[in-house]
Amino acid sequence: MSLFRPNIDAMEAYKPGEQPPAGAKVIKLNTNENPYPPSPQVAAAIRAELEAGAAPGDRLRLYSDPKATAFRQAAADATGFPIDQILHGNGSDELLAMLARAFVGEGEVIAYPYPTYVLYETLAHAQGAKIVTFDFPRDFALPAQLFGCKAKLVFVAAPNSPSGTVYDEATVRKLAQSLPNSVLVLDEAYVEFATGNLLHLARELPNVVVLRTFSKSHSLAGMRLGLLFGPRPLVDGLWKVKDSYNLDRLAIAAGAAALKDPAWTKANAEKVKATRARLAQALAGLGLDVLPSQSNFIFARMKNAAAASGAYRFLKEQGLLIRYFPLRLLDDGLRITVGTDAEIDALLAALKEYLARG
């Protein structure tokens, strides 16, 4: 007999993209990390934190700031948001988990379009929530049934993953207004690679929160940093379900330093966008159906699932790791993270070879 709640017994664990061992000779284009290093200010801030005090690492004896004040203040300075409308997370994954925990009880509804970030499903199962999904149409516009749906929590990744597509502001505003009894979470993990953002909606509307991660545009996936922006009553309530010391001292120093060097982040995002344009053109030239991406990855469909899964396996044998989702509506496509120009050249050469073999 299992001691777990029935929903935990029944659910599958989230399967993160493959993380090869350190030093493995692979070109890693599978989990949308940034191919360029973080701002040098980040390493300097971590070193300063380690060197402060009586001996190297002395500060690590003490708990970190539960309010991550230096990090949140830097975010307030960077965005103009009041600091009390900003909450910090151990990656945006932790903030997503906090939202599910705070707003959704057993049997209550979490809704989101499909296909999207797979973790939303895992978090819903962990809550014992009822999951309501609506399929995206082929162009990945927001499904009409999402508007006015009866849910406690609605997740929308903007840009979406794995499609890389975005929505216009007026449509998202209408969505939020159609959900007066729901919290609408706009997960802007990839927004620095897009032409616009929806942060202001978290300031204007009472039921909208916006999430940002430092894993993509700030090149800090390994530090686990995320931020939530939202109306004061929602943020105040979320503090109650936050682990007290959810960010460690080094992460707080790193996050604050990254936010103080926006030029670095922007320059890297521009490089990624230039490579993305080249990759999109080359994939289309190879006959793949490329979705218009505003993120640091591209989703491209092949002629069928066998072709796509074959390409994934062939590329893996060549030491090129991309993401393949053996899931409904996704199994004919490949999701490729935009790497350096050299990495993308290697990817394209291998893909050409695969296609030439028929």
Ligand X SMILES: Cc1ncc(COP(=O)(O)O)c(C=O)c1O
Residues that bind ligand X (CB under 6 A): 32, 91-93, 117, 157, 161, 187, 189, 213, 215, 221, 226
Spatial neighbors of 103 by CB under 8 A, at least 6 apart, are 152, 153, 183
Nearer Cβ to ligand X, position 182 or 213? 213
What is the DSSP code string of 41-102?
Answer: HHHHHHHHHHHSSSSTTGGGGSPP-TT-HHHHHHHHHHH---GGGEEEESHHHHHHHHHHHH
Smallest distance from ligand X to CB 303, Å: 26
For ligand X, which is the closer residue by CB, 64 or 213? 213
Host H or E run for residue 312: helix 305-317
Q: Which is nearer to ligand X, 96 or 350 (CB)?
A: 96
Distance (Å, whole) CA 85 – CA 67? 12
CB count in 10 Å sphere of residue 70: 17
How far apart are CB 130 and ligand X at their closest, in Å?
22
Q: Residue 305 has which token pair? A: 């699932």
Which lies closer to ligand X via its Cβ, residue 104 or residue 210?
Answer: 210
Rounded to a whole number of angstroms, the minimum distance from the CB of residue 215 to ligand X is 3
* 3-state SS, residue 297: strand
Strands 130-135 and 109-114 come out as: parallel
Distance in Å, CB of 32 to ligand X, minimum: 5
Bridge partners, 333 (sequence order): 301
Residues making up the chain, counted from first to last: 358
Compute the least distance from the CB of residue 56 to ligand X, in Å: 29
When the beta carbons of 158 and 350 are compared against ligand X, the nearer one is: 158
| Of 32 and 79, CB closest to ligand X | 32
Name the residue whose CB lies closest to ligand X. 91
CB of 119 to ligand X, least distance (A): 7
Instruction: Give the nearer residue to ligand X in terms of CB position, either 129 or 225.
Output: 225
155 vs 112: CA distance, rounded Å:
5
Min CB(8)–ligand X separation in Å: 21
CA atoms within 13 A on the CB side of 293: 31
Report which DSSP code applies to 30.
S
